[in-house]
Amino acid sequence: MPVDALRRQFLLLAASGTLLPFAARQAYAQTSTMNKRAIPSTGEMLPVVGCGTWRTFDVGNDPAAQARLADVLQILFDNGGSVIDSSPMYGSSEAVAGSVLTRIDGHKRAFVATKVWTEGRDAGIAQMENSLRLWQQPRIDLMQIHNLLDWQTQLATLRDWKARGRIRYIGVTHYTSSAFGEVEAVMRSEKIDFVQINYAADDRAAEETLLPLAKERGIGVIVNQPFGGGGLLGRLKDKPVPEWSKEIGCTTWAQLLLKFVLAHPAVTCVIPGTGRPEYMRDNVRAGFGSYPDEGIRRRIAELAA
């Protein structure tokens, strides 16, 4: 059976409560507020689970796909989430996200994070103006420099826009550990609000320098690729979810892997990408309850290796 089909089958059982004993179902029902963490630079509280849009929101004008994505974001909001992350690099994703937010009257509930991904000052300004139009937003909550492309030039513009109230927070992103040296240099030399990086139970390079540095420098951390780019869930699909996962309120591998990431004290928010309502319903549960201690984290990492 394909990985997606197996995950859907398991989620149906989990959602119905079949996989939980009575006491656990009762605790699950009583947990009603997604956990939040403070953005270090301001103290504003941010829900810990958001939604990435790479590939999953690049659906153009397909009405059925947009309706499905409306359900995805509605589930995010209904469970207390708010962060939606995109980029001009992601095809039609920004336009689709903006359209879907309008459809569900979700603009005021969203924390919109997008990126500038081009070279040159004028090109950067034009791209950011276009992002505002596509998102149908008066301002962007977080503007990030995608993969550090021409970051010195773009950072000057981001600071200007932040001073003028057109964006609220600024940051830089990357998706591969090979770029961590460059990311570290920017974190040490520049005042930024956020860094977005890859981090997962089978991809822990960020623990060596970037996560401790973010804590030290007061920089928020948004984690992309918390499932190791998707391959990690595929490797775990034939293994039963450990019995001890219930100690931290997890019933699925996705929840366990997301809670592994969120257990690190430097992490502010995680943004697993999905275009399926049932996956979003699964993912948001990682934002509730407690997180693994070091002993449980070691067990998760061993299973993910």
Integer Cα distance of 71 and 55 in angstroms: 17
Q: Any bridge partners for residue 196, and if so which?
A: 173, 222
- The edge-to-edge listing of strands for the beta sheet with 83-85 is 51-52, 83-85, 111-116, 140-145, 167-173, 194-198, 220-224, 269-270
Under the banding of pLDDT at 50, 70 and 90, the label for residue 56 is very high
pLDDT of 187 above 70: yes
Query: What one-character DSSP code corresponds to residue 182?
Result: H
In which band, very low, low, confident or very high, does the pLDDT at 7 lie, cut at 50, 70 and 90?
A: low
Residue 4 — pLDDT band, cuts 50, 70, 90?
A: low
13's CB contacts (< 8 A; 6+ apart) are 19
Nearest to 248 by CA among 12, 51, 28: 28
- Tally DSSP H helices, then E strands, for the chain: 12, 10
What is the set of domains in the chain, with CATH numbers?
41-228+266-289 (3.20.20.100)
The pLDDT of residue 166 is 98
Q: What is the pLDDT of residues 227-248, one digit of tens each?
A: 997 689 989 988 999 999 999 9
Pair of tokens at residue 215? 């804590």
pLDDT tens across 66-105, in order? 999 999 999 999 999 999 999 999 999 999 999 999 999 9
pLDDT for 8-28, tens place per residue?
A: 544 544 444 434 443 343 334
pTM: 0.89
Out of 9-18, 26-35, 209-218, least confident range: 9-18
Q: How far apart are CA 141 and CA 95, in angstroms?
A: 16
- When computed from its CA atoms, the radius of gyration of the chain, rounded to whole angstroms, is 19
**pLDDT single digits (tens) 109-123:** 999 999 999 999 999
